[in-house]
Amino acid sequence: MQKNHLDMIQSMTGYGKATVTFGEKKIHVELKSLNSKAMDLSVRIAPLYREKEMEIRNQISKALERGKVDFSLWIEKEAAEMATPINAALMSNYYEQFKNIAATSDIPMPTDLFATLLRMPDVLTKVDIQELSDEEWTVVSQAIDEAIDQITNFRIQEGAALEKKFHEKLDNIEALMKDIEPYEMERVTKIREKITAALEKTISVDYDKNRLEQELIYYIEKLDINEEKQRLANHLAYFRETMASGHGQGKKLGFIAQEMGREINTTGSKSNHAEMQNIVVRMKDELEQIKEQVLNVM
């Protein structure tokens, strides 16, 4: 049975884009997101749509929930439309004024009259007063929804890849936990032999073997890692269970990974055996990769 996207973890990394046309305009919407502890939204909006900024922010924040998100909304214009029109009527008016002044004041006309007229106030001032119609906003809002759908699908796909990677790393840690077991009994035997040999070498008289046994039991109990192994196994299972519970679990997975680290570190400090310590180092490496990727989980 296929999982609903709400039952899957999602990455905070994503990209979505939509393009729509309205009349002569081509309108572009673009969304990019990276990981962040909270919703960190930056927007760049074409002037015509800035009155809708709060509505746009709410639309994005509600859908994406968390991440460093960059949103852009712009209008693609033809070169002819982008050119600032020359106000010919105003330019003619200035020309007539120049002629009158020259005729009545004996002041010569400018040598470069055309360039002078273009520099006069408002001759090249672009008057671009537009109002956003309900029809146009409906089209733009749908484009924003489309870009949100795209980035959400991207996040779901990235989340599925992360989930697969997490399961691999958890499997590796579980396998390494089992690899430790043979060395635990070997370690006990070596400790016993080491202490006995030391006693026989340094003490010429007989020593109390019962007392030695009690001391060995106490020492070995201090190095026992069964509780750490059990707690680590519980954390691994809880990590899997949390992943299966759906999106929005990134912070919780981070906390579980920290607890896993505590048990692995304690196992390392208690190991007192070269091969066990090597295995612990490999477990730490697997866990470090989990911790790095958990930062991307929403």
Question: In this predicted structure, what is the pLDDT of residue 208?
Answer: 67
Mean pLDDT of the chain: 87
Residues 111 and 172 in one domain: no
**Is residue 151 in a domain?**
yes
Question: In this predicted structure, what is the pLDDT of residue 36?
Answer: 93
Residues 6 or more apart whose CB falls under 8 angstroms from that of 236 comprise 170, 173, 174, 260
Tell me what percent of the residues of the chain surpass a pLDDT of 90: 57
Residues 106 and 139 in one domain: no
Residue where a domain stops, chosen among 94, 118, 142: 118
Neighbours of 81 (CB within 10 A): 12
- Enumerate the H helices of 8-133 as residue ranges: 53-64, 79-82, 88-105, 113-118
Q: What is the pLDDT of residues 72-129, one digit of tens each?
A: 999 987 544 556 777 888 888 988 888 888 888 878 887 888 888 878 887 776 555 5
Q: Is the pTM of this model over 0.85?
A: no
Residue 96's domain comprises 86-118
Residues 161 and 288 in one domain: yes
What does the alpha-carbon distance between residue 13 and residue 33 come to, in Å, rounded to a whole number? 5
**Is residue 124 in a domain?**
no
Neighbours of 214 (CB within 10 A): 11
DSSP string for 128-157: ------HHHHHHHHHHHHHHHHHHHHHHHH
Model confidence at 202, pLDDT cuts 50, 70, 90, reads low
Maximal CA-CA distance, the chain: 135
Residues 27 and 109 in one domain: no
Model confidence at 287, pLDDT cuts 50, 70, 90, reads very high
Residues 204 and 284 in one domain: yes
**Is residue 30 in a domain?**
yes
> Which CATH number fits the domain that encloses residue 148?
3.30.230
Both tokens assigned to 90: 């105003």
Category of 21 on φ-ψ map: left (φ > 0), alpha (ψ -120 to 50) or beta: beta
Residues 149 and 94 in one domain: no
Strand partners, 26: 21, 76
String of b and e for 181-203 (b: at least 16 CB within 10 Å)?
eebbeebeeebeeeeeeeeeeee
**Is residue 128 in a domain?**
no
Residues 64 and 25 in one domain: yes
Residues 145 and 186 in one domain: no
Residues 92 and 194 in one domain: no
- Residue listed under structure tokens 């006995």: 196
Closest C-alpha among 4, 59, 9, 5 to residue 248: 9
Q: What is the pLDDT of residues 225-237, one digit of tens each?
A: 889 999 999 999 9
